[in-house]
Structure 1
Amino acid sequence: MPPANPVLCVLGELVVDLLPVPEAGAGPEGTAPQYVARPGGNALNVAVAAGRLGAPVHLLARLGTGPLAPHLRRHAELAGVDTTGFVAAAEPVSLAVVGLDADGSPQYGFHVLGAADWQWTDDELAAALPAAVGALHVGSISSWTEPGSAAIAHLVARLSGTALISVDPNIRPMLADGPVGASLGNDRAGVTRRLVELVAHADLVKLSAEDLAWLEPETTDLDEAARRWAARGPALVVLTDGGAPLRIARPGRPVLHRESPRVDVVDTVGAGDSLAAGLLTGLLDAGITTRASLEAASDEELLALADDAALVAALNCTRVGADPPTRDELAAARERR
């Protein structure tokens, strides 16, 4: 039986994104580019986006030290996110320096060694978890970086079957493999193994073509990949591919395609997180908080939810950084479609 007054629980990292300010220049010698510090990270972005859309959201995060930490908490609170699940951590806050390609897609440089986000313990998570969890969203760096990834996997296994489990791999190749990944204890085999374990318990998986390019470099057919991931256990797989149509896969059914809204893109930071939040909020609004109710949902219901989620992501892309729309802004944009 689903819990009374179920909430969306989001578990993951808090990251300060340093975003370039191109119009500010780089000083007379070209060596002093200017950046603005913005709250970010997969979990924070998803929680804030869902909060702005009106969902009851409980964010589980380890809030590290440093002068920017209070701003991360405040950013969540302004969106109506419940931050009582924050753990005061002794380790530093994670930092990402962001560069933007010509199409607005981000490139990241990470400063995360010894950061707070991947130090979860079983006891910390047990104490932070609310009583009425309708859906649990996990993913990104904290879900595949030890030692905290093991505690996250234990929690996912414990809640599987009682709450919707949502997983977003959100691979960051620099942190998942190579010299920087190795400094965190990560390599391709370990990260893949941890994600396989999470996906085995997942009801919903949202992943990107970029995730697939790293996880399965030999994959070229995205329809076939979506079908294969759906056959691994999730009741629903949503595969994004930039501005190309979404792929929506369910076990034993044809892959569905849905066009993404066309907007003037400023940048795509936080787009995938906004889409995940839009989808999860829509599921909760529709009362879909169990595996059985997700499996029983019609294609038409899920396509309508996917359309809204894609619109949330598109609106985010019209603004600098991860800045998702409110519920009223989404409603207004829906009317204009």
Structure 2
Amino acid sequence: MLTVLGELVVDLIPVPGADPGAEGTAPQFVARPGGNALNVAVAAGRLGHPVHLLARFGTGPLAGNLRRHAELSGVDVSRSVDSDDPVSLAVVGLAPDGSADYGFHVLGAADWQWTDDEVAAAWPPGATALHVGSISSWTAPGSEAIAGLAERLHADGSALVSVDPNIRVSLAEGFGNTGPDVRARLDRLLAVADVVKVSAEDLAWLEPATTDLDEAVQRWADRGPGVVLLTDGGEPLRVARPGRPLLRHTPPTVTVADTVGAGDSLAAGFLTGLLDAGVTTRAALDHVDEDLLRRVVADAALVAALCCTRVGADPPTRADLDAARR
């Protein structure tokens, strides 16, 4: 069973073709469920894998929609927390190639307020993997509780730990955060991670001097994780393991609606692929053969590509994935 811990965000996505008009007023937007944790959990649920979402459901007219979105995708939200704090909001801007930019409205939002007691009470018995990442994993005060859980799971070996930095620069350098604080919080998580998914954009902020992505991803793998996935838009996906040759996988070519949720869908596809194959411990992860790893990576890349063909974070189902394979 996969457990995902983190934020829920309402994404306001521009309606295609609905420009500001002659008066220059704001374009039309449609509200869609989003946020790293919700996206990963929904993608895993749609792939048919048992998944718990540990989230803090805030207040506001869209809070119920976020919960329903998770439930309709087969996600168990029974151990999530109800909060009186507001739901996070992101206004999305889309470039001509479908890549996304975000403006966040998250002051005082529910997602960043985790406590040690809440996390301890929410953790479901029998979970074999934890995925954390993005804003909630590096924003205080809740980041401290999230790191404590990851460290405990690493110490007792009871669950794989997956981390995705998913940097949002406007929040990593504001909103009470500083660059050094965010890097230190992520270093703490990366020290206990078994699986890491990181983007070239993340690396550009985390390590501005990085010029060689091959060297960087291998160096990250040598820091302790069993597998590091480095995404680079439509360029080949790099897969690094300590002491092993670097692998590459070219993602499928698709017509891109937008890239919202693509990285989250890839993380879900990769984690569920490992768990479905019986890889539930660090020892098993370290002994995964190359053929299996390539198959899991190929499926994960296809899950992400299918998400890109749809507006917003709308990952495919297992049936969609099987049809695309054929």
Q: TM-score, normalised by structure 2?
A: 0.98
Q: 2:203 corresponds to which residue?
A: 212
Other-structure match for 1:319? 310
Deviations 1:50-75 (A, max 9, x none): 00000100000001110010000000
1:24 match: secondary structure? coil
Report the counterpart of residue 146 of structure 2 in structure 1. Answer: 152
Q: Does 1:174 align with 2:165?
A: no
User: Cα distance, 1:111 vs. partner?
Assistant: 0.2
**Residue identity opposite 2:103 in structure 1:** G
Identity of aligned residues (%): 72
Partner residue in 2 for 1:187: 178
1:222-301 pair list within 5 angstroms: 222-301=213-292
Runs of 4+ in 1 over 3 A off after TM superposition: none
Q: Distance in 1 between matches of 2:116 and 2:178?
A: 23
User: Structure 1: which amino acid aligns with 2:236?
Assistant: P
What is the match of residue 41 of structure 1? Answer: 35
Measure the CA separation in 2 of the matches of 1:284 and 1:252. Answer: 23
Which of residues 57, 63, 69 in structure 2 aligns to 1:63?
57
Who is 1:165 aligned against? Answer: 161
Q: 2:187 aligns with which of 166, 184, 196?
A: 196
Deviation for aligned residue 1:27: 4.3
Code of the aligned partner of 2:42: V
Partner of 1:143: 137
- Cα distance in 2 for partners of 1:40, 1:189 equals 27
Task: Please state if 1:134 is matched with 2:125.
Answer: no
Across the aligned residues of Structure 1 and Structure 2, the Cα RMSD in angstroms comes to 0.8
**Deviation per CA, 1:287-315, whole angstroms, max 9, x where unpaired?**
10100000010111111100000000000
- What SS does the aligned partner of 1:219 have? coil
2:128 aligned counterpart, secondary structure: strand
- Residue 30 of structure 1 deviates from its aligned partner by 2.5
- Give the match for residue 110 of structure 2: 116
1:253 is aligned with what amino acid? R
Could you say which residue in structure 2 is the equivalent of 1:95?
89
| Letter aligned with residue 169 of structure 1 | P
Equivalent position of 1:26 in the other structure: 20
Q: Secondary structure at the match of 1:89?
A: strand
Which residue identity does 2:217 align to in structure 1? A
SS of 1:22 mapped into structure 2: coil
What's the CA shift for 1:170?
0.3
Question: How far is 1:34 from its partner?
Answer: 0.6
Q: CA deviation at 1:152?
A: 0.2
CA distance in structure 1 between the aligned counterparts of 2:26 and 2:139, rounded to whole angstroms? 33
Q: Residue in 1 aligned with 2:77?
A: 83
2:281 aligned partner, one-letter code: T
CA distance in structure 2 between the aligned counterparts of 1:68 and 1:124, rounded to whole angstroms = 23
Per the TM alignment, residue 150 of structure 1 is displaced from its structure 2 partner at its CA by 0.2
Q: 1:72 aligns with which of 55, 58, 66?
A: 66
1:162, distance to aligned residue in structure 2 (A):
1.3
TM-score with structure 1 setting the length:
0.95
Task: Please tell me whether residue 125 in structure 1 is matched to residue 119 in structure 2.
Answer: yes
3-state DSSP class of the match of 2:43? helix
- 1:4 match: none
Deviation at 1:26, TM superposition (A): 2.6
Letter in 1 for 2:57: L
Instruction: State the distance in 2 between where 1:72 and 1:22 align.
Output: 23
Give how far 1:316 is off. 0.3
Tell me the SS of whatever aligns to 2:239. Answer: strand
Superposed counterparts of 1:303-314, under 5 Å: 303-314=294-305
How far apart are the structure 1 equivalents of 2:131 and 2:79?
14
Mapped to 1, the partners of 2:171 and 2:225 lie a distance apart of 26
Aligned partners of 1:85, 1:27: CA distance in 2, in Å? Answer: 45
Unaligned stretches of 5+ in structure 2?
A: none
Question: What secondary structure sits across from 1:237 in the alignment?
Answer: strand
Deviates further, 304-313 or 16-25: 16-25
Distance in 2 (CA, whole Å) between partners of 1:63 and 1:268 is 25
- Distance between the aligned counterparts of 1:74 and 1:26, measured in 2? 31
Whole-angstrom distance in 1 between the partners of 2:71 and 2:223: 36
Mean Cα deviation higher: 297-306 or 20-29: 20-29
